[in-house]
Structure 1
Amino acid sequence: MTRTLLITGASSGIGAATAEAAARAGWQVALMARSADRLEALAARIGPSALALPGDVTQEAEIRRAVAATVERFGALDAAFANAGRGANAPGVETGDPGDWRGMIDLNILGLLLTAHATLPELRKTRGTLVLTGSSAGRNHMKGSVYGATKWFVHGLAGNLAEEMRDWGGRCGVVAPGMVDTPFFDKGAPGKLDPADVAAAVMQMIEAPERASIREVYLMPQNRSE
Structure 2
Amino acid sequence: MKQMSRTLAGKVALVTGASSGIGEATALALSAEGAGVAAGARRADRLATLAGKMPGEVLTLDLDVIDQESVRAAVAKTVERFGALDILVNNAGVMLAGPIAGADTTEWTRMIDTNLLGSMYTVHATLPHLLERKGTVVQVSSTSGRIASAGNGAYAATKFGITAFTEALRQEVTAQGVRVVVVEPGFVATELADHVTDPTMRAAARSMAAAMRTLQPGDIADAVVYAVTQPPHVAVNEILIRPTDQTR
> What band does the TM-score fall into relative to the shorter chain?
over 0.9
Q: Are the aligned partners of 1:16 and 1:42 in contact in 2 as well (CA < 8 Å)?
A: yes
Mapped pair 1:112 → 2:108 = no
2:217 maps to what in 1?
Answer: 195
Following TM superposition, the consecutive aligned residue runs of length 4 or more in structure 1 with deviations greater than 4 angstroms are: none
Any stretches of 5+ residues in structure 2 without a counterpart?
1-8, 194-204
Unaligned runs of 5+ in 1: none
Deviation at 1:47, TM superposition (A): 5.1
Residue in 1 that maps onto 2:40: 32
Contact 1:10/1:39 (<8 A) preserved: yes
Give the 3-state SS of the residue equivalent to 2:138 in structure 1: strand
Question: Within 2, Cα distance between the matches of 1:44 and 1:58?
Answer: 27
Question: Identity of paired residues, percent?
Answer: 40
Tell me the C-alpha RMSD between the 2 structures.
Answer: 1.3
| 2:81 matches 1:73 | yes
Match for residue 143 of structure 2? 136
CA spacing shift, 1:210–1:174, aligned 2, 3 Å: same
> Is the CA contact 1:181–1:187 (under 8 Å) kept in the aligned structure 2?
no
Matched, 1:64 2:66: no
SS for the counterpart of 1:167 is: helix
How many residue pairs match? The answer is 225
**TM superposition score normalised by structure 1:** 0.96
Equivalent position SS for 1:85 = coil
SS in 1 for 2:93: coil
Specify the alignment match of 2:3 in structure 1.
none
Aligned positions of 1:1-226 closer than 5 A: 1-46=9-54, 49-88=57-96, 90-144=97-151, 145-185=153-193, 186-188=205-207, 189-190=209-210, 191-226=213-248
Question: Is residue 80–residue 130 contact of structure 1 (8 Å, CA) maintained in 2?
Answer: yes
Give the C-alpha shift of residue 40 in structure 1: 1.6
- TM-score w.r.t. length of structure 2: 0.87
Aligned-pair CA distance for 1:109: 1.1
Give CA deviations for 1:48-93 in whole Å, capped at 9, x if unaligned: 51110012111111111111111111111011001001011x4121
Displacement of 1:44: 2.2
Q: 1:141: how far off?
A: 2.3
